[in-house]
Amino acid sequence: MSNKNTTSNSLVLITSGFPFDNHENYLETEIIYLSKKFSNVIILSHNTKSEKYRNVPKNVQVKRIRYKVKLIENIISLKQLFNKIFWNEINVITNQYKIGLSIGIIKTLLISIENSSRLGKRYTKEILNSKKKDLIFYSYWCNDAAIALANMKLINGDKIKCITRMHRWDIYFEESKYGYLPLRNHIFENLDDVFSISKNGINYLQDQLNFNTKSINVSRLGVKKIGEFNKKVTEKFLIVSCSNVIKVKQVHLIAESLSKIKNYEIKWVHFGDGKLKKDIINYCKKNFPKNIRAEFKGRVLNKEVLKFYIDEVPDLFINLSSSEGIPMSIMEAMSCSIPVIATNVGGTSEIVNNENGYLIEYNEDDLKIVEIINGFFYLHLEEKNNKRKQAYKTWLEKYNSEINYSAFIKEIKFNDNLAL
């Protein structure tokens, strides 16, 4: 007998890598809620290489779908020059986006049309032909998978429901290689629902690219409850950060800022890996004074990061990215009552403010960051703990996974008989 809180709807979740390797760690929480509310969940993962596999709930089935187009298929994509969708999009690029056409943009568009066509055929073969009823297709990213779903929706109409989320790189055109993301109008006009994780993302699409955003709603991500933790005066000053060590995350700026602090001891712990990690470690070895210690944990499981927050009770969390959606890493820090220093990019201002941390401009120099760290260090303990309380309150009111994912599921369900 099925749980009275579940629906007979079948959910098809399309991911870039989850549950393989360490891809899309943030889905570890969401998949739990999805599995509780849908009797049948199928993950179509585009990761076809990694064998490292994370456990998923018992009613979740995992299939692999090849995503990347091979070289010969790039050549085959030239046939899309005769596709009406291609020429409609060329008109959108020149008249709505008002950006110049380039070989890179044309190539990106052709490959996306070809790739989404192939993906749609695979999704149909794997899922639609199985005769399952009340199918909801959910692309976690607004990419070629979302384009494929828009195509499928045109063919199948109300027989299926198709939705997507948008985060950062799949919203902001400047984050892409050629300053262009394919077929946004096609996606927005044909999917049943489109969700942005931040209000900033919707404003960007409306103000910068002249999109009609009435069909796009905000659906915030969320993290599980960890707990409120106050700090004792005798404990060490601990700074933590968690991100890929790549250019956009500006981890080097944290290192450069800490190298200028001389008056008290700091331990900085960073979780995450990337091609710039070795350079930053070498910088720390050469430039850190004796009072600053750095430890690079590398890429670890999400539960290990949270355990560290609980056991060690960090004083500050720092995220100095030059581009973001709304970082899950900040949500997790706040769920553990950790005040945050963050750059005012993307939707970060929707979570960080001067009550629960410090919001700075993304192009601030290291001296400003030093000033903020020093200012926090010399606060009275009561003032520090007030920021900790505000950080936890922000998580509780806006980024609580129980509230946010329950509301999301209510939005996407096929019918009205799903109790939440």
54: its two tokens: 């994370």
CB atoms within 10 A of CB 403: 14
Averaged pLDDT, 329-337? 96
What digits encode the pLDDT tens for the residues 395-405?
Answer: 999 999 999 99
State the Cα torsion 18-22-25-31 to the nearest 10°.
30
Of these ranges, 15-24, 201-210, 277-286, the one predicted with the greatest mean pLDDT is: 277-286
Q: How far is CA 16 from CA 49, 67, 141, 143, in A?
A: 12, 8, 8, 10
Which of 1-10, 26-35, 149-158, 191-200 is predicted least confidently?
1-10
Residue type, 91: N
| pTM for this predicted structure | 0.90
Calpha distance 1→76 (Å, rounded): 49
d(C-alpha 276, C-alpha 15), whole Å: 26
Segment 110-123 mean pLDDT:
93
H runs (alpha helix) in 174-240: 184-190, 199-209
Tokens 């499981």 belong to: 301
Q: What CA–CA distance (Å, rounded) separates 157 from 390?
A: 46
pLDDT of 2 strictly over 50: no
User: Can you give the pLDDT at residue 69?
Assistant: 59
C-alpha–C-alpha distance, residues 142 and 181, integer Å? 9
Q: Are 240 and 269 in contact (CB under 8 A)?
A: yes
Residue 223: per-residue pLDDT: 94
Report H helices in 2-127: 27-37, 71-76, 84-92, 103-126
pLDDT band, residue 326 (cuts 50/70/90): very high
Rg of the Cα atoms in the chain: 23
Determine if residue 60 is left, alpha or beta; phi over 0 gives left, psi from -120 to 50 gives alpha, anything else beta. beta
Instruction: Give per-residue pLDDT as tens, 15-63.
Output: 999 999 878 888 999 999 999 999 899 999 998 777 778 889 999 999 9
Burial of 14 per CB tally in 10 Å (0-12, 13-18, 19+): buried
Taking alpha carbons only, the member of 164, 266, 259, 282 closest to residue 215 is 164
Dihedral in degrees, nearest 10, Cα atoms 309, 313, 319, 324:
40
Residues with Cβ < 8 Å from 6, sequence gap 6 or more?
Answer: 36, 37, 38, 39, 418
**Burial group, residue 91, by CB count within 10 angstroms (0-12, 13-18, 19+):** exposed
CA 143 to chain CA centroid, Å, is: 13
pLDDT (0 to 100) of residue 233: 58
Domains of the chain: 7-221+401-412 (3.40.50.2000), 238-398 (3.40.50.2000)
Q: Are 335 and 357 in contact (CB under 8 A)?
A: no
CA distance 137 to 193: 11
The strand pairing partners of 271, in sequence order, are: 242, 298
Q: Choose among 40, 49, 53, 36: nearest CA to 13.
A: 40
Element (H, E) at 64: strand 60-64
More confident residue, 86 or 128: 86
Mean pLDDT, residues 143-165: 96
Asked if pLDDT for residue 73 goes beyond 80, the answer is no
Residue 153 identity (one-letter amino acid): K
155: exposed, middle or buried (Cβ count in 10 Å: 0-12, 13-18, 19+) = exposed
Residue 159 CB: number of other CB atoms within 10 A?
Answer: 12
- Cβ-based neighbours of 282, under 8 Å, separated by 6 or more: none
How many CA atoms within 13 Å lie on the side-chain side of 299? 11
Q: Give 230's pLDDT tier (boundaries 50, 70, 90).
A: low
Task: Give 16's DSSP letter.
Answer: S
Q: Is a pLDDT exceeding 70 seen at residue 136?
A: yes
